[in-house]
């Protein structure tokens, strides 16, 4: 246990030491404006790649925490991906898992707990250690924090809490800076949510094992005309890679997910660590990605800026 604590302490201290100068530079400059990012989503250009940070910068602060999101704003990340779940008393809070066990010092299902009960918990960092101060944030708190500063990618809302999340966005006047996403068909989403689908930014997820990705995409084009698609592929022979080329030709944004191998045919963050950014993120860009989701937002931004693919 002592070795683990020593390692984790050293890791976070060193991370903070080496990244402080870069973060400070971005704090002092104008942060990425949501309107600019939205324009890039609507009109993707080969010379600009959007950065999407998975659950905030969770190496710097606990995942899905306000501090992890603030860090993304400081770095100049374009979009922060967060996970949203509904409490027993109908409040939306940030939590990836159905339970609070892994990421907090508590136990139990989110759906069985009230907001007051969840607010008593404290978040754990990437080493599984809980501190004394950081609480689980609500979606409302996050949208107020991010307002006009960074786009927000909402996960875990599809089929369950789209209406509730939309109400939070209306309350905070942030409907134009949040991206909903999901795996269901266009007909499913329209039948379930009706006119709400015309009022939100929605990004379909094209799964790597989808039987007919071309039909899935074309049905969305006919009905909702999404400005972006999240495309997954587990091999270089995937039909989804061909769909990426089609979307590129139609000037529609493609988001690739570099978190682990089966989401991007092995061209992941880990490959970046082992073989370099050109061999991973560079490959994704050369094969049609307009945006990349990563667990290493600072490194991705540094790479894109070196390649003059980001401001």
Once rounded to an integer, what is the mean pLDDT over residues 203-219? 97
Closest CA to 267 of 304, 209, 257: 257
pLDDT of residue 166: 98
Fold exhibited by the domain 2-306: TIM Barrel (3.20.20)
CA–CA gap between residue 180 and residue 81 (Å, rounded): 10
* Three-state SS annotation for 207-267: CCCCCCHHHHHHHHHHHCCCCEEEECECCCCCHHHHHHHHHHHCCCEEEEECCCHHHECCC
Q: Please give the share of the chain, as a percent, with pLDDT higher than 70.
A: 90
Average model confidence (pLDDT) across the chain: 91
pLDDT of residue 23: 44
* pLDDT confidence band for 207 (50 / 70 / 90): very high
* pLDDT confidence band for 159 (50 / 70 / 90): confident
Once rounded to an integer, what is the mean pLDDT over residues 82-106? 98
* pTM > 0.75: yes
Once rounded to an integer, what is the mean pLDDT over residues 140-153? 97
CA–CA gap between residue 274 and residue 263 (Å, rounded): 18
Q: Is 11's pLDDT higher than 50?
A: no
Once rounded to an integer, what is the mean pLDDT over residues 198-209? 96
Which letter does DSSP use for residue 14 in this model? H
pLDDT tens-digit series, residues 26-73:
433 333 479 999 999 999 998 999 999 999 999 999 999 999 999 999
CA 102-202-194 angle, to 5 degrees, is 110
CA–CA gap between residue 165 and residue 139 (Å, rounded): 8
pLDDT of residue 151: 97
Q: Which of 22-26, 157-161, 299-303 has the lowest mean pLDDT?
A: 22-26
pLDDT of residue 33: 78
pLDDT of residue 8: 55
Closest CA to 198 of 160, 230, 166: 166
Residue with tokens 């007919």: 212
pLDDT of residue 16: 47
pLDDT of residue 10: 44
Token representation of residue 262? 């089966």
CA–CA gap between residue 154 and residue 162 (Å, rounded): 10
Which letter does DSSP use for residue 136 in this model? P
């Amino acid at each position: 246990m002592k070795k683990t604590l020593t390692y984790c302490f050293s890791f976070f201290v060193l991370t903070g030491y080496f990244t402080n100068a870069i973060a400070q530079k971005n704090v002092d400059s104008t942060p990425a404006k949501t309107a600019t990012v939205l324009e890039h989503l609507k009109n993707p250009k080969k010379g600009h790649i959007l950065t999407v940070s998975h659950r905030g910068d969770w190496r710097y602060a606990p995942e899905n925490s306000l501090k992890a999101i603030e860090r993304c704003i400081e770095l100049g990340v374009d979009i922060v991906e967060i996970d949203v779940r509904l409490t027993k008393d109908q409040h939306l809070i940030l939590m990836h898992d159905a339970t609070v066990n892994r990421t907090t010092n508590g136990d139990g299902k989110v759906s069985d707990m009230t907001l007051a009960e969840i607010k008593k918990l404290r978040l754990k960092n990437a080493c599984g250690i809980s501190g004394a101060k950081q609480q689980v944030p609500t979606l409302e708190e996050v949208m107020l924090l991010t307002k006009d500063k960074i786009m927000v990618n909402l996960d875990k809302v599809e089929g369950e809490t789209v209406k509730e999340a939309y109400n939070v966005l209306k309350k905070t006047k942030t409907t134009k800076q949040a991206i909903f996403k999901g795996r269901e068909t266009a007909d499913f989403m329209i039948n379930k949510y009706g006119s709400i689908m015309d009022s939100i930014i929605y990004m379909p997820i094209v799964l790597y094992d989808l039987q007919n990705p071309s039909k899935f995409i074309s049905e969305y084009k006919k009905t909702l005309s999404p400005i972006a698609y999240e495309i997954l592929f587990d091999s270089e022979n995937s039909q989804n890679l061909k769909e990426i080329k089609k979307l590129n030709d139609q000037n529609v944004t493609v988001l690739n997910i570099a978190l682990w191998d089966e989401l991007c045919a092995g061209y992941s963050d880990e490959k970046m660590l082992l073989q370099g950014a050109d061999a991973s993120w560079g490959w994704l860009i050369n094969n049609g990605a307009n945006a990349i989701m990563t667990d290493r937002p600072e490194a991705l931004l540094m790479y894109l800026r070196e390649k003059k693919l980001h401001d």
